[in-house]
Structure 1
Amino acid sequence: MEIPLLIVSLIFLFFSSALSSSVVTYLPGFQGSLPFYLETGYVEVDQDHGGEFFYYFIESENNPAEDPLLLWLTGGPRCSAFSGLVFEIGPLKFVTAEYNGSLPSLVYRLYSWTKVANIIFLDSPSGSGFSYWTKEEENDSSWVQQVDKFLVQWFVGHPQFISNPLYIAGDSYAGKIVPMVAKRILDGIDEGKEPLLNLQGYIIGNPATGGKVDKNSKISYAHSMGIISDDFFEMIQKSCSGQDYRTPTTSQCQMYLDSFNNCYAHTLAYYWANSNIVRRALNIRKGTIKEWVRCNRHLPYTIELKSNIKYHLSLLQRGYRALVYSGDHDLVVPFSGTKQWIKSLNSSIVEDWRSWHVGGQVAGYTMTYSNNLTFATVKGAGHTAAEYKPQECLAMFTRWISGATL
């Protein structure tokens, strides 16, 4: 019995040596101790090029031992997962006060998906956020491969979560990558690859597919929505004419003002993440990332796959669950195009197009299919829907993840 135990110990030491983590109880700009469990760390994903992925892990505020585990990927490609954490589904958000030279303030977000799920926010691919390596070129395949390596090593270091239901999630361009990652995990399960992960499905918001439907749907959608080529200020003026901007009385005015506030919060993130005291709090390795940027657009990235539809089919035909949601005011990836590729999967409709509600109000429209796919629109939301409608998106996610109807 001594030899097998020795081998197991050596395997664990090998993987754990490629993972380093720290518990963070305090963040600069946030008043008091964090009211949730936050862990940050690095996982080696490419030994030859010194590749390390940085992650933020937040335990569920409900029941971490049994609640689902989400791996959240942010689009771009090469946008930091910190965007998902503070702008979309995480338990922190910036106070959008005018920048005065001091460190931007953070507050607790009431409508965080961590209310019901454990979430890993992963800076990927390399060159995103605080993730780094010496090789700059990336593509769809390498991103998928590295995420798979990350998960294997992360679970070895966190064996208590191996039995939790696992969902791969993300939005925008990551919506193309998510099914590819899920399919790679499925292949590992079929091969008996250790550790065996408890994959249950995937979640994608305002997702790219890589197909021509993403672009072709924009023209008809813009026409149907009456979008014109005025600049942002003119849109606000037109929608909010004669109103007090502090208390908008129309939904259109509110949407544009929300969009304005979210863009300003993006700016605050640069000041916050590039502060030395913040980097020390997050345990960022010195000399790895000179300047944090929300989306690292200047590094080369090759878009390989024209369409990811075959990955959707592979997963859905095996019975895995899928939630696809779209802000209905998104011109980047219009929901009309998303509906089109979902229809191309040729699955029969279980529940036809109907409204879903939050607080007695219509929050969007939804339909479900026999292949375990649920599609939902989020009324009044733009690209990255949870940024615009956090309460509605939390209700949508909570109902779906528990197996209830929207």
Structure 2
Amino acid sequence: MSRRRRILACVEFAGAGAPLLLVVLLCLCVPPPGCAAPAGAEVAEFPGFQGELPSKHYAGYITVGHEQRKRHLYYYFAVSERNPSLDPVVIWINGGPACSGFSAFLHSIGPLKMEDSKQLHINEDPQVTVNPYSWTKMASLLLVDSPAGVGYSYSDNEDDYVTNDTSRVVDLYDFLTKWFTEYTEFLSNPFYVAGCSYSGVLVPVLSQEILERNEESSGMKINFKGYSLCNPAVDVDIENNAHVPYAFRMGLISDELFQNLVTTCNGKYWNNSTPTCRGNMEQFYMQIKGINMEHILCPPCRYKMGITKEFVEYDSGQMFESLSKTSTHGLECHEQELALEKLFDTKLGREKLHAKKAEISGAWKRCPRHIQYTRDILTLTEYHLNITAKGYRVFLYSGDHSLLVPFSATMEWLKKLNYKEIEKWHPWFVENQIAGYSIGYENNILFATIKGAGHVPSDYLPFEAFVAYQRWIDGAGSL
């Protein structure tokens, strides 16, 4: 970052009422991006990784709430490997609805990734390697363990582990303003909010909160440019009603059952009290009970895994608690949870990542059981309309083999926005191969499928998902 740009950013941050001499001295001392971090925040080593980190990494805590109810949110910040002075800052809000940000960091979008191991549960320590398709190739990536109680985050008050969407967004905005206070050199960079799955409930609400606060006459102004979501939760009715027609179009249920469902349910498959509809829906659940909801072509490892026959709305990851080492579904089904805990729930891992001791923050769990989370924002249409009406950029992308939140649900919901299609359904390409299909809408909305991918596209087809995201965040209006 140039000295002139740093000074302008510091002056804007300090405000008009700050003494001029103090502002100038402060700004002249601000080092380039990646250097002006809180003392002791830089991460020198990452658990399980050998060698030099691909860029500067930082970690620590931001305390939110008030004096009587403090919540300590853990963050991990990986600076862009390309141009930290100019590249966007992207905050990733993890789904779950209450799971650690390290889920995405090591399994899809972060600069490091887990190496495969089939004997981890016996005697091997997990190993971590460089991810060639990391978002840090194009942006600085900020992860946060939210809500308090997830991952390394914790609260001083046990009552805070009962929470909801609205409370979480308040904490996330509080987190951001305090984080930018400590990393002021990134305040002028373009800022994006991103997430997947359940984060579809949080990302647009947090985005609107940022815009509303930016419009106030005083206070911090975040350089918000837009947001992105993959296979997002957007509307409870639309998401859950999409399962039946999607399963039919993908050949998972018979023509006869589908026609019976259409006749008896009258388009409302979810939460329908009609006896004949409920009977046919029971048959529907029986026919798909062995299907991996996150990717219909893959073994049922991440969804159900023989632990429960219940049809749940979202995969919170809690079923891993019930898996035994003798699971008939194979080691690959529970290796992920064991590997993450071996990396993060150790004394050495906590020291390397600047996390509090287990006695303070509790055991590290990706999706802990003790969080009692309620979805209190059931539809997001109003938030999307408010933001897109002002021209901010939006990228919605879906793995087309996810039954959990089908791409067809996102398309159905997009129709309700009543925005004109600028580009009709068409293929997009990576290295001369069709990588998916895309639609462009007015008001800077781009929708795309990732062909062959599941619920979190980067987990299944990292190269194609990386290319799509880079094209979009670098300013492309289409893929």
Q: Normalising by the residue count of structure 1, what TM-score does the alignment of the two structures yield? A: 0.87
Are positions 1:171 and 2:196 aligned together?
yes
- Alpha-carbon distance between aligned partners in 2 of 1:109 and 1:396, rounded to the nearest angstrom: 17
Aligned residue for 2:429? 357
Are positions 1:190 and 2:210 aligned together?
no
SS at match of 2:212: helix
- Alpha-carbon distance between aligned partners in 2 of 1:289 and 1:319, rounded to the nearest angstrom: 41
Residue 38 (structure 1) shift: 1.0
Write the letter of the residue equivalent to 2:409. Answer: G
Write the letter of the residue equivalent to 1:295. Answer: C
Residue 235 (structure 1) shift: 7.0
- Alpha-carbon distance between aligned partners in 1 of 2:151 and 2:106, rounded to the nearest angstrom: 13
Aligned residue for 1:278? 349
Equivalent of residue 77 in structure 1, options 78, 97, 107:
97
Give the direction of change, closer, same or farther, for the CA distance of 1:237–1:284 in structure 2 (3 Å limit): closer
- Alpha-carbon distance between aligned partners in 2 of 1:229 and 1:370, rounded to the nearest angstrom: 37
Are positions 1:68 and 2:139 aligned together?
no
Give the direction of change, closer, same or farther, for the CA distance of 1:220–1:278 in structure 2 (3 Å limit): same
Residue 91 (structure 1) shift: 1.0
Are positions 1:218 and 2:243 aligned together?
yes
SS at match of 1:42: strand
Residue 371 (structure 1) shift: 1.3
Aligned residue for 2:137? 115
CA deviations on 1:81-140 (whole Å, 9 max, x unpaired) are 001101111111111112142321000000001100011011111111111102211111
Give the direction of change, closer, same or farther, for the CA distance of 1:36–1:266 in structure 2 (3 Å limit): farther
2:76–2:144 Cα contact (<8 Å) kept: yes
1:53–1:124 Cα contact (<8 Å) kept: yes
- Alpha-carbon distance between aligned partners in 1 of 2:58 and 2:395, rounded to the nearest angstrom: 27
Equivalent of residue 160 in structure 1, options 179, 185, 204:
185
CA deviations on 1:328-382 (whole Å, 9 max, x unpaired) are 0111111101101111100001111111111221111101111110001111111
Aligned residue for 2:385? 313
Residue 263 (structure 1) shift: 5.7
- Regions of 4+ moved over 6 Å: 232-238
SS at match of 1:362: strand
- Alpha-carbon distance between aligned partners in 2 of 1:193 and 1:85, rounded to the nearest angstrom: 34
Aligned residue for 1:26? 45
Equivalent of residue 204 in structure 1, options 225, 229, 232:
229
2:74–2:144 Cα contact (<8 Å) kept: yes
Aligned residue for 1:130? 152
Equivalent of residue 379 in structure 1, options 451, 460, 470:
451
1:38–1:59 Cα contact (<8 Å) kept: yes
Residue 50 (structure 1) shift: 2.1
- Alpha-carbon distance between aligned partners in 2 of 1:237 and 1:151, rounded to the nearest angstrom: 39
SS at match of 1:143: helix
SS at match of 2:440: strand
- Alpha-carbon distance between aligned partners in 1 of 2:299 and 2:71, rounded to the nearest angstrom: 47
**Structure 2 portions without partners, runs of 5+:** 1-16, 27-37, 253-286, 301-329
2:154–2:362 Cα contact (<8 Å) kept: no
Aligned residue for 1:94? 114
- Alpha-carbon distance between aligned partners in 2 of 1:81 and 1:140, rounded to the nearest angstrom: 17
Give the direction of change, closer, same or farther, for the CA distance of 1:235–1:167 in structure 2 (3 Å limit): closer
CA deviations on 1:258-303 (whole Å, 9 max, x unpaired) are x995863343112211122111111111222321111124321121
SS at match of 2:69: coil
1:20–1:42 Cα contact (<8 Å) kept: no
Write the letter of the residue equivalent to 1:79. Answer: C
Aligned residue for 1:181? 206
After superposition, residues 16-55 of structure 1 pair within 5 angstroms as 22-47=41-66, 48-55=68-75
- Alpha-carbon distance between aligned partners in 2 of 1:51 and 1:402, rounded to the nearest angstrom: 35
1:78–1:297 Cα contact (<8 Å) kept: no
SS at match of 1:352: strand
Give the direction of change, closer, same or farther, for the CA distance of 1:236–1:331 in structure 2 (3 Å limit): closer
1:95–1:265 Cα contact (<8 Å) kept: no
Give the direction of change, closer, same or farther, for the CA distance of 1:56–1:399 in structure 2 (3 Å limit): same
1:211–1:308 Cα contact (<8 Å) kept: no
**Structure 1 portions without partners, runs of 5+:** 13-18, 239-258
Give the direction of change, closer, same or farther, for the CA distance of 1:126–1:33 in structure 2 (3 Å limit): same
Equivalent of residue 367 in structure 1, options 439, 463, 466:
439
After superposition, residues 280-299 of structure 1 pair within 5 angstroms as 280-286=351-357, 287-299=359-371
Write the letter of the residue equivalent to 2:48. Answer: G
CA deviations on 1:191-249 (whole Å, 9 max, x unpaired) are 134221110000111100143101010111112212353647997699xxxxxxxxxxx
Give the direction of change, closer, same or farther, for the CA distance of 1:378–1:32 in structure 2 (3 Å limit): same
Residue 32 (structure 1) shift: 1.6
Q: CA RMSD in A?
A: 2.4
Give the direction of change, closer, same or farther, for the CA distance of 1:389–1:315 in structure 2 (3 Å limit): same
SS at match of 1:152: helix
1:355–1:366 Cα contact (<8 Å) kept: yes
Deviates more, 1:49-58 or 1:284-293: 284-293
Larger Rg: 2
2:47–2:352 Cα contact (<8 Å) kept: yes
1:352–1:368 Cα contact (<8 Å) kept: yes
- Alpha-carbon distance between aligned partners in 2 of 1:204 and 1:236, rounded to the nearest angstrom: 23
Give the direction of change, closer, same or farther, for the CA distance of 1:260–1:196 in structure 2 (3 Å limit): farther
Identity percentage of aligned residues: 38
Aligned residues: 376
Equivalent of residue 170 in structure 2, options 145, 165, 173:
145
Write the letter of the residue equivalent to 2:416. Answer: S
